Amino acid sequence: MRNLTGATIVALASSCVASSGYLKLDLHRRAPISNKLARRQNSDGSVDAVLSNNQELEYLVNITVGTPAQKLSVTLDTGSSDLWIPASSAPLCKKNQCDFGSFDPSKSSTYQVVEQDGFNITYAAPGDTDAGDWGSDTITIDGSSPIDSQQIGVASALFDQHGVMGVGFDTNEANNDGPGGVYQSVMDNLVSSKIIERKAFSLYLNDRDANSGSIILGGIDTTKYTGDLVALPLQPSDSGAVMEYYVSLTGVSFTDAAGKTTQISPDGYSQATLLDSGTTNTLLTNDVFTPLALGFGTTLDPQGSGNYILPCSVGNGNGTINYSFGGEGGVTIQVPVAAIVGGQAYTSDEYDDPAGGCALSMGTPMESGGFSILGDSFLRSAYAVFDLENQVAALAQADENQASTSNIVVIPTGTAIPSATNTATATGTQLTALESETAIPEASVSGSSLILAGTPTFNLGLSSSTATAGSGSGSSSSGAANYAAVPTAALLGLGVAAGLMGL
């Protein structure tokens, strides 16, 4: 969770609705705070998990720890499994840099040390390690009933400014010595404490401009999606075990402003792809990513950062990227063009587009260590259900901006996902090695040092002044008033640190 420059919007779970069998956390936007979490490993390299890195949205959950209760907020992450928090004794916290609270074990009568110096998580960025003790204490999650003796990491050697609550599989827990290599996670204890009935949850991020979204632990809100909710068996890792939220992506196409649909993925495409709310961007195999990126006028940053840049005006275009899952009888999620346009990297004085140059919220598996990910730039358009007990996910098209409606169905004990109409069973394979570099060209620079925008080849319905902005003339295009600038943010870190994560 490395500090970044630029404005960041944080979504904070500021209210909770608890009922028989489920726990609803409402997520609201808040600014500014800037944080980053990268790809995680255990100190011995034995665990691969994905944590949150975020440029524009980060989703935090209010918790209390200890007796009497100490208040903190932690990142909610579907790609990890541990709950860890900053210790008040950490140097960052002593400097008042623990932005969402810290925990003092000496002030809790119910705190117990499980393993001194046993907690250690290392991230991809150099020096990004959080370490300390494994402990246990009473916690609540945004007003829930107490959970006693929850194992937590208490980080006194702290790189990151606030902790994480993972809601992934136990097999991704870090450095634990429990039976079978796992301990009782927060999700386990939510069930055993009878706060929820099943180790399952649903996620509704809503669009990037919405004021609220939600996660429902143990429940589904049927008003937050349209069409069919289709179940998808989770795909196993290379070891043969289901450890993360991989589903089978079986097709990618693009529908342009005129309604014409072009198939992007090759025939027979079937790729195990990770659904991760802890990832800002979408990472696709080169055979899909490259034609999409080129269609949007993407080029490589000429400054040599390795980042992908596209005209910010693309965000005003019409069209959808269509992701199909599960093969026959599956489900297709439509993602609007605006979702793949990230923060502004260059102004119109630096980049030959009326709205400037923006980061592309997409990449390739080279940036994640070799696996495909559908992050927040996809998940905002989807309603997603994750059933850990039965190793199943379910997807439907999100019905965005429906915060005022609610019809929550408890996910009971059993095997079926409530409201799911059918199960699509096509399987997908995971990448076994890093792919080669893409064929995205480096942006040209004019004699006046103006970066020349790439020219979109997709029909996005943009005006002629925008269509000619990257023609190579080197002159700034007129009509900037016709385009709303994308909110300024730091250039997405798409390089070796896998700076990609965002819930």
Do residue 249 and residue 191 come from a single domain?
no
pLDDT at 473: 32
What's the pLDDT at 476? 29
Using the 3D structure, point to which of 156, 178, 196 is the last residue of a domain: 196
Task: Tell me if 342 is assigned to some domain.
Answer: yes
pLDDT recorded at residue 501: 31
Q: So what's the pLDDT on residue 3? A: 25
Degrees to nearest 5, angle at CA 117 with 114 and 123: 115
- Across 53-62, 446-455, 463-472, the highest mean pLDDT is recorded for 446-455
Closest of 219, 205, 192, 191 to residue 417, by C-alpha: 219
pLDDT score recorded for residue 16 = 57
Q: Which of 99, 160, 188, 276 is catalytic?
A: 276
Q: Report whether pLDDT(272) > 50.
A: yes
* Choice among 1-5, 232-236, 417-421, 426-430 with the minimum mean pLDDT: 1-5
Alpha-carbon distance of 82 to 430, in angstroms, equals: 24
pTM here is 0.83
The 10s digit of each residue's pLDDT in 404-419 is 778 999 999 999 999 9
Instruction: Clarify whether residues 247 and 192 are in a common domain.
Output: no
pLDDT band of residue 370 (cuts 50, 70, 90) is: low
Q: Is 207 a catalytic residue?
A: no
Which residue, 423, 456, 473, sits at the end of a domain? 423
Q: What is the pLDDT of residue 7?
A: 31
What is the arithmetic mean of pLDDT over 69-83? 88
Structure-token match 């068996």, residue found = 233
Which candidate in 26, 48, 77, 130 is catalytic?
A: 77
Whether the per-residue pLDDT at 188 is higher than 70: the answer is: yes
Average pLDDT taken over every residue of the chain = 80
Q: Is residue 470 one of the residues assigned to a domain?
A: no
Residue 294 is assigned to a structural domain of this protein: yes
Residue 211 pLDDT class (50, 70, 90 cuts): low
The residue-averaged pLDDT of 215-228 equals: 95
Does residue 287 have an active-site annotation? Answer: no
pLDDT-derived band of residue 464, with 50, 70 and 90 as boundaries? Answer: low
For the segment 328-347, the average pLDDT, to the nearest whole number, is 94
pLDDT at 467: 44
- Same-domain check for residues 247 and 175: no
| Residue 373 located in a structural domain | yes
Buried b (16+ CB within 10 A) or exposed e, 224-248: bbeebbbbbbbbbbeeeebbbbbbb
One-letter identity of residue 355: A
Task: Assess whether pLDDT exceeds 80 at residue 138.
Answer: yes
pLDDT digits (tens, 9 = 90+) for 21-72: 899 987 655 443 333 333 333 334 333 223 233 344 567 889 999 999 999 9
Q: What is the DSSP letter of 447?
A: T
- pLDDT recorded at residue 489: 26
**Structure confidence by residue, pLDDT tens digits, 376-411:** 899 999 999 999 999 999 999 999 887 777 899 999
In a domain, 78, yes or no: yes
- Picking from 35, 81, 31, 155, the residue whose alpha carbon sits closest to that of residue 490 is 35
pLDDT for the residue 180: 60
Cis status of the peptide bond prior to 68, with omega within 30 of 0: yes
Predicted pLDDT at 481: 26
Q: Look at residue 34 in the predicted model and tell me its pLDDT.
A: 36
Q: Is the pLDDT of residue 81 over 60?
A: yes
Q: Could you tell me which residues come within 8 angstroms of residue 96 by beta carbon, excluding any fewer than 6 positions away?
A: none
For the ranges 167-171, 272-276, 323-327, 476-480, the lowest mean pLDDT is seen at 476-480
pLDDT at 424 exceeding the cut of 90: yes
DSSP string, 269-304: --EEEEE-TTBSSEE--HHHHHHHHHHTT-EE-TTS
- What single DSSP character describes residue 103? B
Answer yes or no: do 165 and 296 share one domain.
Answer: no
Strand-strand pairing, 10-19 and 83-86:
unpaired
Residue 276 above 90 pLDDT? no
Q: Which of 154, 180, 196 is the last residue of a domain?
A: 196
Q: Tell me, yes or no, whether 267 and 180 share the same domain.
A: no
367 falls within a domain: yes
- Residues 40, 110, single domain; the answer is yes
- Check the CA dihedral 417-421-422-428 and report its sign: negative
Q: Is the pLDDT of residue 490 over 50?
A: no
Give me the CATH number covering residue 304.
2.40.70.10
pLDDT at residue 1 tops 80: no
Question: For 288-333, how does the pLDDT look when each residue is reduced to its tens digit (9 = 90+)?
Answer: 999 999 999 999 999 888 889 999 999 999 999 999 999 999 999 9
Mean pLDDT for 97-107 is: 95
| Whether residue 263 sits in one domain with residue 379 | yes
In the prediction, which pLDDT does 89 show?
A: 96
Q: Does residue 364 share a domain with residue 245? A: yes
Asked if residue 453 is part of any domain, the answer here is no
SS (H, E, C) 157-217: ECCCCCCEEECCCHHHCCCCCCHHHCCCCHHHHHHHCCCCCCCEEEEECCCCCCCEEEEEE
Q: Exposed/middle/buried for 96, CB within 10 Å: 0-12, 13-18, 19+?
A: exposed
Instruction: Check whether residue 191 and residue 262 sit in a common domain.
Output: no
Q: How far is CA 75 from the centre of its chain?
A: 11
What is the gyration radius of the CA atoms in the chain, in angstroms? 22
Contact predicate 161/146, CB 8 Å? no
Q: What is the number of domains present in the chain?
A: 2
Q: In this structure, what token pair is assigned to residue 335?
A: 């993602």
Q: Verify that 123 and 25 share a domain, yes or no.
A: yes
Give pLDDT, residue 277: 80
Residue 354 lies in a domain: yes
How many C-beta atoms lie closer than 10 Å to residue 301's C-beta? Answer: 19
Q: Are residues 180 and 232 in the same domain?
A: no
Residues 233 and 368 in one domain: yes
For 100, the domain range is 10-196
